[in-house]
Structure 1
Amino acid sequence: MKKNQENWLNKLWELGNTWGIIVLSASLLGLFFFFLTINNVFTQTYEIEKFSIASETIRSPITIENKQETERRIRESVQAVEDRYAISQEITEERINYIHEIFDAISTLEEEYSVERKDEDIAVPITEQEKVNRLKQILSEDITSSVSDQTLIQLLQVPKKDREKGRTFFLKAVEETLNDGVRTENLQTSLAQVKDNIKYSELSEDLKSPLSKLTEFAIVENSFFDVELTSEARKEAASNVNPVMIQAGEIIVREGQVITNDIYAKLELVGVLDQQANLFPIIGLVLLILLLCLVIAHEMRVLLLKGKLDQRKMMAIVFVSIIVASMMKVISLYTTTDNYLFYVTPISMGVLLVKLLIHERFSFIFASVMSILASVIFNGEIPGQLNIEAGIYCFISQIAAIILLKNTKDRSYFLKAGFGITIVNLTVITLFIFLSFEKYTYMDLLFQGAFGVVSAFLASVLTIGLLPFFETGLGILTDGKLLQLSNPNQPLLKKILTEAPGTYHHSIMVANLSETACEAIGANGLLARVGSYYHDIGKTVRPHYFIENQLSIQNPHDFIEPEESAKIIISHPYDGAEILMKEKMPNEIIDIAKQHHGTTLLKYFYFKAKETDQFVEEKDYRYPGPKPQTKEAAIICICDSVEAAVRSLKEPTEEKIEEIVSLIIKDRMTDGQMNECPLTLKELETIQETICNTLKGIFHSRIQYPTKEAK
């Protein structure tokens, strides 16, 4: 009971330490991200006085509307709008009708006098004045009051044919002038224009004079100021004025230029004179980084609860994040709006390393975080602006890298993934070019495409180059490292083969069983295989004390006490762990070597000792542990015993194999050896079935060939 309490306390202590490291890791990343991106949102301020000389060129840190300038332009535009006038069609028609009336009346009067002369035998002469008086009787009062008798007399004296020609010409001139609008200020101009037309026309001189005088009656003011039209025109002019914008990066004042009132107002508007304006972008940056760190911490927690995270992997997350973010920052220093150098960033390297070292799920989170940081880092150090193009490019490139790297056990797949990333990068770059309204030359397309190719190439090469540093420096076990350790030319495997050949064969058999069982339940089969290769390395210290290595010799245990034999046998897991530690093998392999016997009882020597001493203590014949902590260690623990037991059978039939496997698994469970590993009963069932099927394949029936004696 006391021992269980101590184990729980140790676990709680380890868990507390791990949580502390998660918080510390996220905090360190947050601080690093903050200091890396602060100049991307920080606005430099200046102490400048009016009418002084600018000591340096100052650019606008933000895009903002210059409302004062916009209002000034609106005023100028409104003031430039001329008054709108409405032409009165009633007045125009009235004047045209008056002219028609004059000429029609004259024609009518002439016809009347012509008839009277024919009816009378003796013609009575009629004076011009009498004709005018008669004419006035049939004309409107407005005409008679405005047109002089002399004008009418002159019109009467003109022959009818010439008069009709003058009538047509005069009506056209008057109508055109009135339709153009006659205002008070241009009345005289309009009159002069019509008179000039008459003067230089081909009309007879007798007709030009009365028509010129009639012009003063016909041309009158018919265009008047319209308040509504003028107001609408001014509103339209104001609405057509675009807001005057100060663009981010725009030069406000150049070095050596005088700070005028206008320039000072612009500097004040964009906030480079206000110390308080810097506080808000920094608060925004802190909130953004806080959210990113919370996401990272949450994903670390998920991996921790699944048993897939430890201190080494946390350190790897921190180091990879720092490397990737630093690369982006360095490249951003040389990136401009013209060269698009951010395309060359080997951003995919980070997610490839995270997928290999940590977990695939975390690599997606890492890709999202780095893409958001890229949009900040590549904003050209213009506060308030995010480079969405860089963010999208980095995100898609990283997601492609995660999906394309399928086989993490073969290093050649890095190059294949790099080729796929190249295609994706080129596609995204082409997409941005086609979406843009800017005109691009073939050279632009070539250069930007080359950046995408270099990015993918560098990502693959850097991943292959940096991976061994993480594997060795932090002791993180990857599939690539496991494949290296599984090479038969490894010194320790050669040591087992030469010094303990029986143990080597036993280890190969356990490896086959363990890998198959692990893959059946979704555990790491490659780790189980490599762990099985090295789990009995401790037997090389005293190889002849283990039965599989006793060829043509007597068993040395027959000559020593059971207690001494037990000590020798029990020491081999810890001798092996010591050897592995000296060779700086991964901790996972060392743990398997320690845990593959758990705290099981060495039954043979225990019962042998009990034959001579009834008071022998069981604890002296038990392995000190620890019990298996992982699925892989637990499966190796089972397979180690199963392989040895089945090998000892003289006739290993299917029924015997199933029986012995079932007994060993039940014995491990009742002995509490599976209590500290995450295996479920359902998984144990699957493991039992898989081991049985594998052993049946190994120990299948064979044809017995007859010998000479039998013949």
Structure 2
Amino acid sequence: MKRDMLIKKISSYFNRNWSRFLLTALCCSAIFFAFTYTNVYTETYDIEKFSTAKETIRAPITIENTKETERRIREAVQSVEDHYEISQEVTDEQVNSVIEIFEVVDKVESENLKEILKKDKITSIDKVEYLKQLLQNDAIKELDDSVFISIIEASPNDRVLAKELVSSTLYDVYNSGIKVGEEDKVAKSVVQKLSYTTLSDNFVEEMIPVIQVAVEPNSFFSADQTNEAQKKARDTVEPVMIRAGELIVEEGQLITNEIFEELELTGLLNEERNVYPLIGLLILMVLLGFIIFLELQHTNGDILSSRKLLAILIISFFIVVLMKTISFYVTADNPLYFIAPIATVSMLLKMLLNERIAIVFSIIYAIVGSVVFNANIPGLLNMEVGIYFLITQLVSIYLLAIVKDKAAIIKTGIGVACINLMTVSLFVLLSFEKYDWSDFLLIGIYGFLSAIIATVLTIGLLPFFETGLGILSDSKLLTLSSPNHPLLRKLLIEAPGTYHHSIMVANLSEASCEAIGANGLLARVAAYYHDLGKTIRPHYFIENQMGMKNPHDYLDPCQSAEIILGHPSDGAKLLKKEKLPKEIIDVALQHHGTTLLKYFYFKAKEKNDKVSEQDFRYVGPKPKSKEAAVVSICDSIEAAVRSMKNPSQVEIEKIVSAIFEDRILDGQLNDSTLTFKEIDQIKNVICETLKGIYHSRIEYPKKEEKIREAK
């Protein structure tokens, strides 16, 4: 049975609110989509090759031009020269063969050839023949005898000098590498270098055959080194990117093959390609709408009236239009999005609804802003904008703690201005680009103006939502709580007892509501006005009689009941006439529910047993909200406790428990959504508050007793 009742209650709550929440979420998504689809939708063109461009076209996306990249890679690879590997073995072998000639000549000159050759007379030919026998290099042996004779006949100093110069010169050219076919060219360069030395021209000329034989290729093609060099050249080629916003063709320019390929590559000639970004944007907006729906479902449906849902739509429309308008003037050199007064919406949502909804919508507006300011580049979210919008909104929400007057909004604006300056400084310092002081100053001014404009807009727009839509905000409640309000002045002057009773009820109601998480400020202000109907006939209510005779002593119980039972509706009429918020009127109308006016009922019953109980019940309705239920209970408890003389703590607890029990059994709290746990919390708060008011006091002696003691 209990389970069925619970399911029925949940179903009733869902059916009452889900359609309104879903419609609000869908409308928000539609607003966001309508103002952001141009940021992802790219215009396509019907252009032919070699025609003239009718307008200037820029790239809508960032994409790699693969054909151009491959062409540059080919050019880089082709520009790599063949790599050769120098053979040190060839170098050493050839240079050593030349050195060997001089060493062998020295050996021949130092030995006694007469004994060796068994001849009495040794000629140059004999020396040459003996010398060739000692040489190992066959190519050197093939040289003409005159070459060896000139070396033999040279002085020892010339031979030493020739040996050093020839060998060092050969080492130089060999170390530089000698390729196949370059032998003659290198030999001539060696001879030329030797001609500039101290060697005689004749001797250098005689050495030419030796040099020609000694010069051989020692630099051979290396496939591995060549491939490695080509790979490095390929890796150094950066991909050729077409950047979003980059100029592709200017108006009046000829559409060449290269330009046509870039237009085709960036999708400017393919209309079907535009569908995908729109689908992605639609998915994003559906997700944001789903988040909005869940958040609205999470919030108490009684708090989110249709007027407040309408306020969400108006605020969403306002900020998206504002962002879109600013985006038209944003350039790469002028980040005007920093001036967007985005904090306006977060402060309005907090004051008109609550902090949680303001935080959720701050995240949503930051995401939408990152799309609006994406420079019309599909797939790009401007994270700088998103972070800036999120920080400035969250800061405004947390700084706007208690709104007592407009000064609180101004203080919040100043705090937001400081945080905005810090945030834009963060972006400047994190940026790789170098900013001038003038740029930093401009961005800082934008951030500061954003907070100032947001403050002015918040103060200016708040009355529109409070008056135009009839939304009750904390600032409106604080205005209504002023003792100088005409209706409260009327209550104080015409029904002073009721006024003081209302003050006590307000204190109890605020403390109780805050204990259960309800709107304590609303309960306090509603309590001020809940008995305003008593001002029509103030002397018919006991708290205003003050020493005068009770007029009910001269009236029939039915007539007295009619006067007493009418004060809730009388108060509601006065409040409606003065155009007070509906929430205040509801509390005034519901604060007695359909309870029974027991005193006059039983008094009438003494005269007539057939009197109807229904005639002595308030017309209601029963309290519909937690705040109305709390005011109703506190009203009865305060009146009951005030009627007692020096109530003790035990008596206070008993009467509080009795009133709660009576209201529960009479079904007066059934429509208020109060739980038993919340009722216990309210009971404890009321008892503690009343004990503090009616605590024990020292009984001071009377004036006569003081005089006797003095005597």
TM-score in terms of structure 1 length: 0.94
Judged with a 3 Å threshold, the aligned counterparts in structure 2 of structure 1 residues 561 and 208 are, in CA distance, closer, same or farther, namely: same
Aligned to 1:332: 327
In the alignment, residue 229 of structure 2 is paired with which amino acid? Answer: A
1:300 aligns with one of 296, 300, 305:
296
The corresponding residue for 1:201 is 197
3-state SS in 1 of match to 2:566 = helix
> 1:321 is matched with which residue: 316, 319, 324?
316
**Identity across aligned pairs (percent)?**
50
Question: What is the match of residue 639 of structure 2?
Answer: 644
Whether 1:188 aligns to 2:184 is yes
Counterpart in the other structure of 1:251 = 247
Does the 8 Å contact 2:56/2:249 carry over to 1?
Answer: yes
SS at match of 1:675: coil
Change beyond 3 A, Cα 1:141–1:555 = closer
- How far the C-alpha of 1:273 sits from its partner, in A, is 0.6
Q: Structure 1 regions of 5+ residues with no counterpart?
A: none
Instruction: Show CA shifts across 1:633-687 (max 9, x none).
Output: 1221122222222333345444443333332222212212122223333433343
Q: Distance in 2 between matches of 1:651 and 1:194?
A: 130
Q: Distance in 2 between matches of 1:551 and 1:394?
A: 60
Amino acid at match of 1:80: S
Distance 1:222 1:12 in 2: 95
Match of 1:142 in 2: 138
Query: d(CA) in 1 for partners of 2:493 and 2:665?
Result: 37
Comparing 107-116 with 611-620, greater Cα deviation is found at 107-116
1:502 aligns with 2:501: no
Cα distance between partner residues in 2 of 1:478 and 1:144:
112
Q: 2:390 aligns with which of 388, 395, 405?
A: 395
Partner of 2:618: 623
Call closer, same or farther: CA 1:618–1:15 in 2, change over 3 Å. farther
CA distance in structure 2 between the partners assigned to 1:441 and 1:350 by the alignment: 33
How many Å separate the matches in 1 of 2:144 and 2:340? 95
CA contact (8 A) 1:312 1:475 kept: yes
> Where in structure 2 are there 5+ consecutive unaligned residues?
none
Counterparts of 1:467 and 1:11, CA distance in 2: 34
Cα offset, 1:78, TM superposition? 0.7
Structure 1 residues 41-190: aligned runs within 5 Å: 41-113=40-112, 116=115, 124-140=120-136, 142-190=138-186
Moved more, 690-699 or 172-181: 690-699
Q: CA deviation at 1:15?
A: 4.9
Shift of residue 269 of structure 1?
A: 0.6
Residue 267 of structure 1 aligns with which residue?
A: 263
Partner amino acid for 1:567? E
Distance in 1, Cα, partners of 2:569 & 2:421: 55
| Deviation (angstroms), 1:193 | 0.3
Paired residue type of 2:215? I
Q: Does the C-alpha gap of structure 1 residues 9 and 469 become closer, same or farther in structure 2, counting only changes over 3 Å?
A: farther
Mapped partners of 2:139, 2:105: distance in 1: 13
Q: Which residue of 1 aligns with 2:36?
A: 37
Matched, 1:547 2:542: yes
* Residues 128 and 655 of structure 1, relative CA distance in 2, 3 Å threshold: closer
Counterpart CA distance in 1 for 2:26 and 2:676 is 40
- Residue 199 of structure 2 aligns to a residue whose secondary structure is coil
**Farther-moved stretch of structure 1 (138-147 vs 230-239):** 138-147
Which one is further off, 516-525 or 480-489? 516-525
Deviations 1:73-128 (A, max 9, x none): 111111111111111111111111211221122222222246759x99xx933333
Moved more, 96-105 or 696-705: 696-705
Whichever residue aligns with residue 439 of structure 1, its letter is: K
Per the TM alignment, residue 261 of structure 1 is displaced from its structure 2 partner at its CA by 0.5
Determine if the alignment matches structure 1 residue 407 to structure 2 residue 402: yes
Query: Is the counterpart of residue 214 in structure 1 residue 210 in structure 2?
Result: yes
2:351 corresponds to which residue?
A: 356
Partner of 1:604: 599
Partner residue in 2 for 1:375: 370
User: How far is the alpha carbon of 1:438 from its aligned partner?
Assistant: 1.3
Amino acid across the alignment from 2:340: T
Whether the aligned pair in 1 keeps the contact of 2:516 and 2:681 (CA below 8 Å) is: yes
Equivalent residues of 2:114, 2:121 under 8 A apart: no
Deviation at 1:12, TM superposition (A): 6.6
Decide whether the 8 Å contact of 1:158 with 1:206 is kept in 2. no
Q: CA deviation at 1:40?
A: 0.9
Displacement after TM superposition at 1:707 (Å)? 4.7
Give the SS at the match of 2:248.
strand
Matches within 5 A, 1:553-572: 554-572=549-567
The answer as to whether partners of 1:343 and 1:448 remain within 8 angstroms in 2 is yes
Change (3 A) 1:137 1:658: closer
CA deviation vs aligned residue, 1:392-450 (integer Å, no higher than 9, x gap): 11111111112222223343222222222122111111111111121112112211111
**What is the match of residue 585 of structure 1?**
580
The answer to whether residue 445 in structure 2 is matched with residue 446 in structure 1 is no
Per the alignment, residue 670 of structure 2 pairs with 675
Mapped to 1, the partners of 2:601 and 2:630 lie a distance apart of 25
1:34 Cα deviation after fit: 0.6
Counterparts in 2 of 1:154 and 1:399: CA distance versus 1, 3 Å: same
Per-residue CA deviations over 1:547-591 (Å, capped at 9, x if unaligned) read: 333356544434443333322222211121122122221111111
What is the CA–CA distance in structure 1 between the aligned matches of 2:135 and 2:654, rounded to whole Å?
Answer: 138
Deviates more, 1:497-506 or 1:445-454: 497-506
CA contact (8 A) 1:146 1:217 kept: no
Give the Cα separation in 1 of the matches to 2:574 and 2:306: 24
Moved more, 523-532 or 66-75: 523-532
Please report the RMSD computed on the Cα atoms of aligned residues, expressed in angstroms.
2.5
Correspondence 1:687 to 2:682: yes
Q: Relative to structure 2, which stretch is displaced further, 247-256 or 494-503?
A: 494-503
Q: Note if contact 1:198-1:211 (Cα within 8 Å) is conserved in structure 2.
A: no
Q: 1:152 to 1:59 in 2, by over 3 A?
A: same
For residues 214 and 313 of structure 1, what CA distance do their matches in structure 2 show?
A: 107
Q: Secondary structure at the match of 1:184?
A: coil
Q: Which residue of 2 aligns with 1:523?
A: 518
C-alpha deviation, 1:14, in angstroms:
7.4
Relative distance call for 1:525 and 1:146 in structure 2 (3 A) is same
In the aligned structure 1, how far is the partner of 2:611 from the partner of 2:556? 13
Secondary structure of 1:672's counterpart equals coil
Provide the C-alpha distance between the structure 2 equivalents of 1:26 and 1:188, rounded to a whole number of angstroms.
Answer: 89
Work out the CA distance in 2 between the residues paired with 1:409 and 1:467: 14
> What TM-score, normalized to structure 2?
0.94
Shift of 1:513: 2.6
The number of residues matched between the two structures is 703
Q: CA separation in 2, counterparts of 1:651 and 1:77?
A: 103
Residue aligned with 1:304, SS: coil
Kindly indicate whether the alpha-carbon contact (under 8 Å) linking 2:491 and 2:499 is maintained by their aligned counterparts in 1. Answer: yes
Distance 2:421 2:31 in 1: 31
Shift of 1:43: 0.9
Matches of 2:579 and 2:247, distance apart in 1? 60
Structure 1's consecutive aligned runs of 4 or more residues displaced over 6 angstroms after TM superposition are 8-14
Task: Say whether the 8 Å CA contact 2:95–2:171 is kept in structure 1.
Answer: yes
